Amino acid sequence: MNCRSYQESLLKLDLPDQAPAELQSHLGGCEQCRELQRRLVLLQNSVKQLPLPAALSRLEFLQRFLSADAADLANGTLTAGAAEPGAMPLPATTIPDPARLKKPPWNWYTGMALAAAMGLAVVAITLLRHEEIVPPVPGSGGLNPMIQRLVACNRRLAHGASAQTQVEALADMADDLFVEAQRHARSEPREVKAMATLFDQVVKVGVLKSAARLPPERRRSILAPIIDRLSRTAQEAEAVAIKSDSQAAESLRRLADVAREGVKELRQLAGE
Amino acid sequence: MRLLLRTVRPIGVLVLAFLASVAFIARAEAEDAAGQIRDETLIGALVNAALDMAGEADDLKRAEACRRLVAMMAEDLKKSVKNGQLDRAAALAMQIEGLLSDGVAANLRSAQAAVKGSGRQAEIDRIAVDVTRLSDQLTHLADEPPGSQSAEFRRALEGVHKARVAIEQALVPR
């Protein structure tokens, strides 16, 4: 046997000071193993000196346990009673009971999450909703005012109107179409194109043909203000076209060309 | 597990809020686009009707042009009611009333006065029946929600009903 085997035998002994003969003879010649035995004996003696709770019968222990309150259990006074000497109190609870742990403020977390959600929604709206560059139609009551004006034009024409009323109503209609084209110039080239096409029809098919039905002697007085308006429309359409994107600009320039052609034809009809 | 759930919950709220806002924006944009298309359709129809009527000497043809306009606007009105756009529906009803009175009733009245020997009574009756039936469909919209919930819309439909009465009276021989 070597020292390691003797030390294991020593550790297994209930009473290390009462080693068997073989182990005793080894201890006599081995300083290291003798030191281990000395420490084990010292430990054994120390344990004997520890204060012990007064012994309780099982029945007595149960009675005390059942009648004890939480403070007694925590202080370790259950087994021996507060007045009994030698009672060893239980160590103070250094690790808190999970149930006593401070709960995380989930309500705050949820509130913060909601606030962040609202912030995110604002960001999403800002990012996804393109800039409103089509000016809103004022006081429309849910209906584009241009539609109301066009209905009014139709009502004027529905009566079997005179040539003067016809040409004036259709010139008003051309003005409205230009205003609508202008309103969409920055964002809706498709709308601008549609309005320019309608403007073309109104001027060429409507205004010029109605103007031709006017009595020659009254043409100049009736057509002069219409010529002025169409000239202004041509200029404004060119000006708006400069600020618009290429597709809308093309439609607006076409509209301006139509207005200029209209002015030219009307001047001829008016004898200017 | 509970910790996981508690961590996931705020993230879920964030994701849902984001998706809801995206859906809200997409829907608003779709409604805007649909409204714009409807406006454009009406504008085109109104311009064409005006061009048709401008040089037209025939009362019945002008009445027919107005009838077509009324039919188109009535469709838009029904869609507006269905979408809960009662402001638009009320505004359209007022415009329809004007077209029925000045466009249809007035032209039918003059056509009816000149009908003897023209053989156009059937044409007059067809236009009259068509617009009165359309008017009845519209006025019924005031009897049930959501139309019944707007006083302005109900008043506008009363105007349509008055115009319908005027059309009936236009057909009475004098």
Domain ranges of chain A: 3-49, 53-92, 145-270
Rounded CA separation B42/A151 (Å)? 10
Instruction: Report the pLDDT value the prediction gives residue B121, as an integer from 0 to 100.
Output: 87
Torsion of CA B38, B98, A169, A186, to 10 degrees: -30
Task: Provide the shortest C-alpha distance from residue B30 to chain A (in Å).
Answer: 12
Q: Does B150 touch chain A (CB under 8 A)?
A: no
Looking at chain B, which residue has its C-alpha nearest residue A123? B18
Rounded CA separation A142/B84 (Å)? 11
Instruction: Report the pLDDT value the prediction gives residue A142, as an integer from 0 to 100.
Output: 79
Of B25, B43, B98, the CB nearest to A129: B25
As a residue count, chain B comes to 174
Instruction: Report the pLDDT value the prediction gives residue B92, as an integer from 0 to 100.
Output: 94
| B100 contacts in chain A (CB < 8 Å) | none
Q: Does B65 touch chain A (CB under 8 A)?
A: yes
Rounded CA separation A272/A168 (Å)? 19
ipTM tops 0.95: no
Instruction: Report the pLDDT value the prediction gives residue A125, as an integer from 0 to 100.
Output: 72
pLDDT, tens digit, 9 for 90 and up, residues B95-149 = 999 999 999 999 998 888 887 777 788 888 899 999 999 999 999 988 888 878 8
Q: Tell me if A124 and B46 make a contact (CB, 8 A cut-off).
A: no
Instruction: Report the pLDDT value the prediction gives residue A232, as an integer from 0 to 100.
Output: 94
pLDDT below 50 — which residues of chain A? 81-84, 131-133, 138-139
Average pLDDT on B151-166 reads: 91
| B16 contacts in chain A (CB < 8 Å) | 117
For residue A82, give every residue at least 6 positions away whose Cβ sits within 8 Å of its Cβ, in sequence order, or none: A72, A75
**With 90 as the cut, is the pLDDT of residue B30 above it?**
no
Instruction: Report the pLDDT value the prediction gives residue B37, as an integer from 0 to 100.
Output: 83
Looking at chain A, which residue has its C-alpha nearest residue B10? A113
Q: Tell me if A151 and B95 make a contact (CB, 8 A cut-off).
A: yes
Burial of A182 by CB count in 10 Å (0-12 exposed, 13-18 middle, 19+ buried)?
buried
For residue A69, give every residue at least 6 positions away whose Cβ sits within 8 Å of its Cβ, in sequence order, or none: none
Looking at chain B, which residue has its C-alpha nearest residue A156? B102
Residue of B46, B94, B96 to mutate, interface with A, max A Cβ within 10 Å: B46
At A1 the three-state DSSP class reads: coil
Dig out the tokens for A92 from the structure: 């103070």
pLDDT, tens digit, 9 for 90 and up, residues B61-70 = 999 999 999 9
Is the pTM higher than 0.95? The answer reads: no
| A152 contacts in chain B (CB < 8 Å) | 98
Q: Does B30 touch chain A (CB under 8 A)?
A: no
Of A112, A140, A155, the CB nearest to B103: A155
Of B21, B47, B102, the CB nearest to A158: B102
Bin A172: left if φ > 0, else alpha if -120 < ψ < 50, else beta.
alpha
